[in-house]
Structure 1
Amino acid sequence: MIVKTKKFALDKKKYINMAFTRQIKKSWYWLLIPLAVMILGPILHYTGVYKNWWILITGFVGGLLYIAFWYIQFYAATQMEQNAQMFDKFAYEIDSRQILVKVNKREGGVIKWDTIQSAEKLENNDFLLHIARGQFLHFPKNVFNSEHDMKLMENILRRKSLL
């Protein structure tokens, strides 16, 4: 059985938000360092060990810079010419052997299942297939032709042990 989707494109704003939030959720523990510095600063200040507020400001700015770094990375990915293809309109044919990406009836490419690291079904019944950091395939529920196609997609992902 083949799941065929309508032709659709990934929105740049949606890409930035999805990639950024997933990266921050995955590496949130790095924000503990600036948080610890921000907690340690006032403690050192009030105990008289270190009477300077720069440590607090440094921790706050460090946390903001970490968050800004990742947001800028994903924003820049949408502006680069070599990534422009990620935001073009494609139709997909998904079966248990491969994911066929179709530009039109004659042109397209193939994504093998072994390049997909994981998959998840989002709360709004969208499917998200992770390829690498910042690279994923997002299938909103409105691109499927029927409920049967959505269930078939979920079954394929379960059989591939991705869900």
Structure 2
Amino acid sequence: MNQPNQRGSGGGFRQSQQASPLAIRTKKTQFDTNTYTRLALADVWRKDWVYALVPFALGLLPAIFVHSWWWLGLAVVLTVLFALLRSAQVTGVAQMEQSKPLFERMNFEMDQKQLLLRVGPEKAMQLTWDMIGRARRDADAYRLYLKPGAPPADTAPWRLWLARTFDVPVFLHLPLRIFNSPNDQKLFEALLRRKNLLPAEAGAATV
């Protein structure tokens, strides 16, 4: 699994990061770890439920040769173990030291070049837009998903497949209520569209 500090977070907050005077600035917010876990688990199981069928099928496979209800029990146990391990992989992210900067109380400053996660006047984490893989607009918030870090060049193919298939989503959560005006929200959404993080729309606003 790619750790949060492998996704461009720079290992924590740095000093004296400055955004453009024309940057969009938000109110302060704090991403709750329980909210992250709930949203991340929903993302993971929306995609990975099909993989839970693999341990179930493996548990039932011996029933082809020896008919017994024990094989059904084994299939259920293997499936539950898979679900618990995959869920623990997700819930563990919020507890990791590398993840703590994502759950600080902060405000955001966004311009064409970068996204600043600002905790205080002289303390901010800088993300460039190429560190964001995609965005999602929910009913009450935006989610900005960080790109996974590049694996070492000598990583075995099967490890690459595992890393891609069972990656854990790490994202920033920007509630709509933190924008200072509806216009700021429209400008931010237009910025996301120009960065190809959201589908383009005709007549988008400009920053």
Task: Give the drift of 1:76.
Answer: 2.1
Residue in 2 aligned with 1:134?
169
Partner amino acid for 1:14? Answer: T
For residues 92-128 of structure 1, give each alpha carbon's deviation from its aligned partner in whole angstroms, at most 9, with x where no partner exists.
1011211011111122121010010111111x14100
- Contact 1:120-1:127 within 8 A present in 2 as well: yes
2:41 is matched with 20
Structure having the higher helix fraction is 1
Do the aligned residues in 2 keep the contact of 1:3 with 1:94 (CA within 8 Å)? yes
Greater RCO (Cα-Cα under 8 Å, separation 6 or more)? 2
Identify the residue that residue 53 of structure 2 maps to in structure 1: 32
Amino acid across the alignment from 2:178: V
Gaps of 5+ in 2: 1-21, 149-167, 199-207
Equivalent pair of 2:55/2:79 in contact (CA under 8 Å): yes
The answer to whether 1:110 aligns with 2:126 is yes
Q: Report the more deviating stretch, 27-36 or 97-106.
A: 27-36
> Which of residues 118, 129, 144 is equivalent to 2:179?
144
Identity fraction in percent? 32
**Count of residue correspondences:** 157
Q: What SS does the aligned partner of 1:27 have?
A: helix
Work out whether residues 60 and 74 of structure 2, in 8 Å CA contact, stay in contact via their aligned partners in 1. Answer: no
Show CA shifts across 1:108-153 (max 9, x none): 121010010111111x141001104331111111111111111111
Where 1:139 maps in the other structure, the secondary structure is strand
Q: Which runs of 4+ in 1 moved over 6 A?
A: 38-42
State TM-score, norm by structure 2: 0.68
Query: What is the CA deviation profile of residues 1-25 of structure 1, one whole-angstrom value per residue up to 9, with x for unaligned ones?
Result: 4221111111011011111111122
